[in-house]
Amino acid sequence: MKAAIIGLAGATLGAEETALLRHAPPAGVILFARNVTTPAALSRLIDDLRAILPAAAVVMIDQEGGRVARLRPPFWREHPAAAALGRLYAHDPAAGRRAAFLQGALIGGECAASGLDVVTAPVLDLAIPGADAVIGDRAFAADPEAVAALGAALASGLLAAGVQPVMKHIPGHGRAEADSHLTLPVVAASDLAADVAPFAANAPLPWAMTAHILYPALDPARPATLSPTIIRDVIRGAIGFAGVLVSDDLAMRALTGAPGDLAVAALDAGCDLVLHCTGALAETASLLDACPAITPAAGERLAAARALARTRRDPALLAAREALAAEREALLG
């Protein structure tokens, strides 16, 4: 099983895609809006993937709520952006935490019902005034304690649905003044204690996603995704994260280079898995060809993440989704 999670071209598997997945099976697949039409079609696609991929492989989706959501009405619920939960928390912390838990449980329940097992949320970046809008209302708040508390609550809801959460973008994207989809942001601050605090508070979570950001105070030459220093000393060290570390999308313009070269560099730096989302067959094939198999340590982390979600799953909660949705709406007013 290759140490990569890849994107797909469309809502069904083509013959060449199927052949590639059989020839060089990745550790997982990530789905986007282009892969999602109806609940029945999504379930068929995931069933087809499960029939091809190794048993340990994951099927992942971006489903934060707000503007980052691949499952949308009319077939799935509209979920508020994280900032709405942050505003409630500022007024009533207990209500904010409860609403964040409910949000995680509702998102997780919908994803689990479709056969998805990993959701790339919560966003633990800070809402820094003047920063680029790429994070914006995807962040809960500017206060690290609020972000830590709300992120923990949302992740707990996802786990209660049997879904594995991914905290992002470690060690912190909120201060960036550029969009890493378009260029490499540089965060020049020398004191990043506030930025890393929500991640440290949530270090027991099973997954984290790296930030494609250059932090000169931590590594003047390499962005976090490609930095052995940041991964070893900050993410694994100071933050204390011991779970599955996956890169952000290697196809984003913050990074330059061939997909396979970037994959090897990120894995050599200490990522367990790399993410490549375009779904373009030639790019995906090139990446998988260059990508090594997952390491034994990465395999153990994947197994631990699956076991945690299985242990935390609450079937009674999943059976009460309409009541949970009504409670969340009442809390948010």
Q: Residue 181 catalytic?
A: yes
The residue annotated as part of the active site, out of 117, 132, 248, 249, is 248
Catalytic status, residue 212: no
pLDDT tens over the chain, length 333 residues: 999 999 999 999 999 999 999 999 999 999 999 999 999 999 999 999 999 999 999 999 999 999 999 999 999 999 999 999 999 999 999 999 999 999 999 999 999 999 999 999 999 999 999 998 999 999 999 999 999 999 999 999 999 999 999 999 999 999 998 889 999 999 999 999 999 999 999 999 999 999 999 999 999 999 999 999 999 999 999 999 999 999 999 999 989 999 999 999 999 999 999 999 999 999 999 999 999 999 999 999 999 999 999 999 999 888 888 999 999 999 998
pLDDT value for 178: 87
Query: What is the structure's pLDDT at 303?
Result: 98
**Tokens matching residue 7:** 């994107």
- pTM (two decimals): 0.97
One of 48, 179, 181, 289 is an active-site residue; which one? 181
